[in-house]
Amino acid sequence: MRIEHVGSTSVPGLPAKPIVDILLVVADSAKETEYVTALEGAGYKLRVREPGWYEHRMFKRPENDVNLHVFSVAVPKSHECWSSEDGYGQTKPIASCMPDPSER
């Protein structure tokens, strides 16, 4: 339903690890039969299953350069955005809809 680039690599100027975090929003992440086969066909492997944390799933590629996080569309937003400096000392919104990890 939606794909977003999230995490430290999505914030300009923020030091980041060499792994890109991608958010994939599906209708219901608990229904793995609806999306896992397609992701595996694209080279991703299911590495994390956290049904107690908004039915979170995480997939990785063999190159270990991407964390693909899967959540349901109905996950409540813990925070509407992240912010970073825009180069002029001002903060600007950075879209993010991943739940706050402290809510585990």
Summarised one tens digit per residue, pLDDT across range 54-99 is: 899 999 999 999 999 999 987 655 433 333 444 444 434 444 445 5
35 domain-assigned: yes
Mean pLDDT of the region 15-40? 93
104 domain-assigned: no
Q: 73 lies in which domain range? A: 2-99
Please tell me the total count of domains within the chain. 1
What's the CA gap between 96 and 74, in Å, rounded? 14
CATH of the domain at 6: 3.30.460.10
Global pTM reads 0.72
45 domain-assigned: yes
Q: Binning pLDDT at 50, 70 and 90, where does residue 100 land?
A: low
5-9, 16-20, 56-60: which is most confident: 56-60
